[in-house]
Amino acid sequence: MTLSLEQIRENNARARQLLRRSRDQHFAVGAFNIDNQETLIAIAKAAKKLNSPVMVELSKSEVTSMGLENVRDMVDNYKKEYGIEMYINLDHSPTVEDCMAAIDAGYEFIHIDISQGNHNATDEEIVKGTREVVEYAKYTGAVVEGEPHYFGGSSDVFKEAIDYEEIKKTFSTPEGSKAFVDATGIDTYAAAIGNLHGKYPVPKILDLDLLQKIRDVLDPKTFISLHGGSDTPLHYFESAAKIGVSKVNVNTDLRFAFRTTVDQVLDANPDQVSVAKLMPQVENAVQAVVEEKIKAFNSAGKAII
């Protein structure tokens, strides 16, 4: 079902109100990646159980797999069925054209990441592409997120330890954060403070003092997001929400729960060929991860339907 322009603008206005609420009430909204319907159902059930607002999000590969418009319809269907506050975020989109397509499809949150498609993109190229998306999004009111350089890690399980001396070279700076926001006009700034994508043999360490300095120099109307929300001690998110982070992205923890539980279920049911009969246990495992994050983000009980 294609949304009308009026419906898209109304949804986007609600999305902006959500981030304002998160900033005022000191909670962060969980943005959870999906690459199948079972994960979407698990997120919806967790949102319903804890009365929490949530975002589901798709990166380039997930859009290719599931379909931009198809996910819009699925989210709208489950939002209505469960009676929940749920939005869609286009995650780390590498091109302006892909962002425009998602804006046209009624995605409320758009993350333009020029460096994702080209790790060697210049500052000028990143600013130019980001500004194009910001301008295009004004027609519908979609919330635009950006970042000034390639973000470390990927949504995988790593065996090597984290080299924080190297990672620190990619950290955001207060001055650089403000300059990028001012140059692009984005609504949400993706801060890099040690929050790597993926799972590692040792827990991640977030520089909350740096996060506070970034929050202090940005316009209060600018929102802050943290990517790499997997495999991170939960107390960091509790503190980050108090400092003013409005959105936390989670991907690998969901994928890991899904994959490991699928393996267990298959081993326990070698003769079962009905996938539908195998999925409830998998959905429950993913839902448990989502609920854990929601509680840490302090977003439980914050939904407005």
Residues 91 and 272: their CA atoms lie apart, in Å, by 35
Q: How high is the pLDDT of residue 156?
A: 60
Tens digit of pLDDT for each residue in 127-143?
999 999 999 999 999 99
pTM attached to this predicted model: 0.94
User: Could you give the angle at which helices 275-297 and 37-50 cross, rounded to 10 degrees?
Assistant: 40
Residue 304 lies in a domain: no
Name the nearest CA neighbour of 31 among 14, 9, 15, 7. 15
Residues 163 and 73: their CA atoms lie apart, in Å, by 42
Domain count, the chain: 1
User: Could you give the angle at which helices 96-105 and 123-137 cross, rounded to 10 degrees?
Assistant: 20
Q: How high is the pLDDT of residue 44?
A: 98
CB 112 within 8 A of CB 180: no
How much is the average pLDDT of 64-85?
97
Residue 161 lies in a domain: yes
Name the β-bridge partners of 31. 55, 249
- CATH code where residue 122 lies: 3.20.20.70
Confidence category of residue 157, pLDDT binned at 50, 70, 90: low
Residue 199 lies in a domain: yes
Q: Which amino acid is at 229?
A: G
Residue 303 lies in a domain: no
Name the β-bridge partners of 33. 57
Tokens (6 digits) for 102: 């998602």
Name the nearest CA neighbour of 12 among 130, 132, 103, 129. 103
Catalytic sites, residue numbers: 91
Where in the sequence is the domain holding 37, given as residue range(s)?
5-297
Confidence category of residue 165, pLDDT binned at 50, 70, 90: confident
- Percentage of the chain exceeding pLDDT 90: 85
Tens digit of pLDDT for each residue in 90-126?
999 999 999 999 999 999 999 999 988 888 899 999 9
Residue 305 lies in a domain: no
Name the nearest CA neighbour of 89 among 78, 74, 103. 103
Name the nearest CA neighbour of 174 among 131, 133, 143, 219. 219
